[in-house]
Structure 1
Amino acid sequence: MATVGQTLSAPETGWKRYEETDSSFTYAGASWQSNSGAIYSGNSAKYTLTPTLHSVKFNFTGSKIRIISYRGTDRNSAITLKIDDVAYTYSANGSAQNATLLFEKIDLVDAEHNVEISVSDATGQRIFEFDAIDIDSNKTIKLYKTFSFKILVLSNGYYRKFNGTSWEVVSATPTETDYLNNGMDDISTIPESAWSQLTGIVEIDCWTDNFVKAEVQFNFETNPFTLADVWEGKSIEVLCYTDDPLAGNQNMKVSMNVTGRRNLIKNIPNPTILAYNTNPNTVVNGSMSGIPKDRYYKYKVTIDDTSTPNNPDDILSDWSNWKTTNTDTSVTVPAGYVHKLNPYNIKVEAQQLDNKIISSIGQVLLFNQSPVFIMGAISYNTLSVTLDDPDGDTIQYQILLNGKVVTPEDGGWSPPQTVPFPIVYKFDTTDVLIGKSNTCTINVKDEFGVVATLTLTFTGDYNGIMFSDASGSYYSTDSGAVIKQLDFGMLVAGFNSDIATIRIVNKNYFPVKNIELSFDKSKIAQYTDVKMSKYSGDSFLDSDTLIYDNVLKSGEYVEIYIRIKTQMFANGGSLFKINAKANISV
């Protein structure tokens, strides 16, 4: 049996493989690309170099799953995989190895599971790839879907939901549809005042279509209380019972010692014991235990500048929940305080259960430095920059192109990142002004909200493997749309055309290899053919495919030569296409 880290070029017995091209895989993220080569299972994989959230999602049935992909020193080392919302992490970083078993889980419940594999920090040195998965040989994969989990509350014979202001009756006998259409996703936000409106026995009923889910948990918070709070002002009797018929009229010696902390037992008036026993010398003892109430506390943290003592304090952390254990935590001071007058007073207040408040004040000096940019540049529509912060703060960023936020896609800020944080971001050509000046703005803010901005300008260009003439004028866009045609003009039947020269240009920011050129001759007229060659002489190939196996660096080009060949009976016009593809040179 294969183990994680070994090559697994084909599924083992009892397993079935699904390649990345299967239609059940759903890809999210704007910059997924395809790569091919013998290093991959099925000779192909999808990848991204863009440091925004990219994911692949799917469902599968069965009890086991494996992840297979190429392993290399420039692959990502922290790939997040969630199975039924349980998170795992695996790495594709290491010595070069083809079709490697990177992750496996073989002890799942035999049921349907949902899977999400994601990375948000991909770069040219942390490539995120998705190649293939293996699952049980007699099971299948499906399009991604999440499982439903819905809640209704039963009170006085009716199932109800809370609509934000009041309880609504759903049904006396709810169906699956009732739960799906009216069930609540979360009951933690229902206020105490709403719960107090319910009478009788209250049940919390849950419905889910997730066969893996075996239990649910709910947390409810109350103010601290002890049995003494319930018993206060009442007479407490301890009853001892025996079924010995001879014990009826016996005299008994009875005593009780009540010990404990005053704030625990509170004011229980004259505790007594009623006991029945045949042994007159028996001493009945009673005891009480619990958490002493003076262990309960809650706390609050405020800040104020010493130059305006009459102004109200700002709350850094409002009153906490009741606690019984020590607190070791931190609070964040808003960025605005860094730019005001120093020093500041930090006040911590602790309130006991008896409402007594104990406070302490400390004085601090605050300062903060803005984030910085290291070596920001744009080449081939690709931004390369490293974000840093002199104080070591975590940072968040957003990238704008010509005034529009292009990442994150929601227009907000990225998740917090540790510094230094390198970014390699490839702009979508549809957003770039081709042949014109473009403005890229990178905003980055630290933990205190201090924002730094870097603005770069560049001339927009196409990206990818491009066809051009000797002057650099393109024949098509990087999406394949025709800009101009290679026109051979009018030809005489039985004669060959002049030889045309075309440049194949690498407009990627990374080197490529194994450039493969092929013809689409579906619209070539009868008795007419088109040939291509690496050389300008007469050595034209009969094959419709031409391969350059050398490495082509960014900005470099190779030339190919095209010639039209006609026979005596050739007639009418012809149209042909040349397709190009290449592999990343790793």
Structure 2
Amino acid sequence: MNEVTIVYIKAQGNNAESIAMFHRIRAKQNGVYLTLSKESNLVDHNMNVRTNGLDEIFTGASSIGAPYYEGTTKGYYIFKFEFEGNFTLEFSDWINTSYGKAYSVYMSYDNINYELIANNNTNLGTGKIFSTSAFAAYNRLFVKDSIGYKTYLNGWVDSGTSLPSENVFKSHGIQKEKIPEIPESAWSQLAGEIEFCYYTDDQTKTEASFNIETDPFILEEEWEGKEIEVLYYTDDPTVTESMVTIETDPFTLAEEWEDKEIKIIEYTDDPSITESTITIETEPFTLYDELGDNVDVLYYTDDPSKTSAELNIAANYSPLDELEGDFDVVTWSDSNTSKNVQLSSIPSPQLIKQTDDYYMYGDLLAIVDKLNSSNGTLRYAISFNEGSTWEVCKFGKWRTIDISSLDAFKKSGMSHYDISLINSVALKNKGSKIRFAYYIEDNIHNSDPGIEIDNVQLKIDAATDTVKFENLAFYVLNTNATIQLSIAGNKLLGVLDDSDRGKVQYRIFLNNKPYYPTDGNFTLLAPSPQDININISERDLLFNQENTLKVEFQDYWGETDYWQTTFVGSYSGLMFMDETGEYLSDTFGGILRYLQFGEIYAGQTTIDQKVVIKNQLGYPVDEMLLTVNKDVLPSGVGIELSRQQAPFLATDYITYGLTKENETQEFYVRITSDIDAEPVSNGIFELRINAKKT
């Protein structure tokens, strides 16, 4: 892979009008002019007059004449170059005022996203050479998964487990602009978590962003079944703890602790406390349920006179309980008189399944089971599919159980209390048919009557055989979505909301052309309220002219409305201007106009010139710092700044306080030189300004 960067250059007229921007374009790198041609370097254009002279803009020949554009849109050229680092472009401007008009130069790495690098407002038919310099950065990346680092060349290529070196990034890294070309099938081959390792030699870049399109998801789905840790950092030394509030579906501790062994650990620093009491409310149970059939009774006493212990147990017990399976009762007597044996016993646990369904013609209010006796164990299960499967509802959640296993039915079935909690909310999407199954086991430890169910009733809020409707129509009452927007600093900010809390979508038009999304379609429907934060690219604006921005929006039902505003196209940022209001630089730091100090003689101090700083960021700033870049000053030459003209209080930096949106600050600048300063032709100095957003 080559260690060069493909760069696209777009030259476009500033206004929608006929234009001929230049006779020739030249590219220079490391002091050497590159060989250019129509076949290798011209990507696109809309010139429509003398197009057979396209070769001349690369060769400088004048046999036919360079092309130009006639029409009512913006004339443009798009070129492609291979650069490495700094490069210079030279344009030979047009030689007449009929078509020699202002144009701008933009740079892109993907022929999609362009940035302004120069603005030639002086192309007024003078035929001069317009020159601009730029930097072609290496923007390369590797993709890292659980196996290691990878690049892509018609498929993933492994590059080991160590971070690649700078040279490897340059020679084998993936261009950021090529990422969209990697197919979805390739991404699915990666294992584990995916990281982007990004390299650039552009020193002005402090961050990189990637737009990743995924299927809609919510964090609850991503985190389901995973253990989540919340890491909190603060540099406030007074903070000793933090609190995180998490909203969950309603649940009970009984639901979370079901079938788990619970230990309660109590701590106290009160030395007088020797024991604690914990009260737990449970369903009714007996010691027999907890202890089972076999019990060891341990007896302790500190009475030395006790030599033995007696334990009296009163229980409903018969030696026949010890026998398993069927048995015969055999008696012997020397009398011929017939003998009668009376035997009473408790039935074995029983499973009873209802064979018919109940039909619910409305909202279920409650399930009421009338019990004549509750001496034993009673469990319920419900079927909604004619007995094919059986379900239980505990803590508001349904789950399927196997009622053919009596032990499982006894353990997991619903109690009398559980069945009383079922209502229409719990039965949502369960259909209109319902049937019951019962597990019944009498208490073997006393002679009281066992479980007796008198009846089960379904209380349903339903109206039958009463009011009848004919030609019934339903109308949906819908409230239109609303939008609150503002534009400042070439940024569109606001909120799209719907009082019905439905889903909303929008699209943006700039000067009657689709801007976002670029295909002119609406964005995907998303829950309201929806924040809107869109940067308006300056390459799409009409400078010093009125621009129209229109936002169309609609709700889930298709009710459409729009918001529209007009604004004059201008730069955004902290802008330098001369005292006449002309911009000295653009948003990206490109030079538009120079402060002309004329010739300066060694030992001379120039007349000061007034410069204005205008806040066009779209928000107020504070702690504004104006400094001189001394690194580029020739030896013996200095730049002095002053807040006022008279008296001129020389300093090399100036600070400003709160500066509101569109507010201006003024300063004066002059050049000083030592008597032994070395001569420099066309000397240039730089001023820099930084501020904090408030």
What's the TM-score bracket when you normalise by the shorter of the two chains? 0.3 to 0.5
Bigger Rg, which one: 2
TM-score (norm 1): 0.41
TM-score (norm 2): 0.35
